[in-house]
Amino acid sequence: MKPATAALKLDIYLPATPQEFQDGMVSREDLDELQRNPPQWLADLRREGPHPRNVVAARLRISNSGLARAGITEALTTAQIADLAANPPEWLVQERATHAETLREQRRLEERKQDGTDKVTVPAKPAKAAKPARRQSPSSRGGRSPRR
C-alpha cells in the first residue's frame, strides 16, 4: 500500500515519518509488524507528535470539523495539544460542547432505531385521478373513416 494509506492506518503524520517510509511501499505484513513491534521512530512519533488532524481532534475531544472551524490546519505536537487542553480557549470549550451534543443526538437516534420506535409514519400519497377516456376515432368505432 502507499505510504499515505499506511500512515493513516498507523495514525501518524506522514511528513514526520522517515524518508525511507515515505518513499517505499508498505506491504500488509510490514504494516502488521509495525503495529505489533513499532520501531523507535514510530513510538516517538506516536508519543510526541506531530499528530494528524484526526488524532488531534480525538485528543481534544472535538470533531475534525471543529478543528477546521477553529482554523487549526497544521499538525500539532503532544505538548501543543496538552497546552490547549490545560488552558482551553473559548473556541475549544464551544467545540467540545457542540461535539458532545452531536454524540448525544447520535446515541439517542441509535437507541431509537434499535428500539423500533424510529418508524416514522409517512402519510400515503393520494391516489392519482383517473385520466378521462380517450376519444375514439370514427374508424375504431366502426364508423366511416375521416375525410382527407
Which of 34, 42, 33, 35 minimizes the C-alpha distance to 12? Answer: 42
Residues 42/35, Cβ–Cβ less than 8 Å: no
pLDDT in tens, 41-73: 999 999 998 999 999 999 999 999 999 999 998
Omega before 50 cis (within 30°)? Answer: yes
Does position 118 have pLDDT exceeding 60, yes or no? no
Task: Give the confidence band of 146 by pLDDT, cuts at 50, 70, 90.
Answer: low
The SS3 assignment for 126 reads: coil
How far apart, in Å, do the first and last CA atoms of the chain sit?
76
Query: pTM of the prediction?
Result: 0.69
What's the confidence (pLDDT) of residue 89? 94
Q: Using the 8-state DSSP alphabet, how is residue 14 labeled?
A: G
C-alpha cell at 24: 517505499
Q: Does residue 94 register a pLDDT over 70?
A: yes
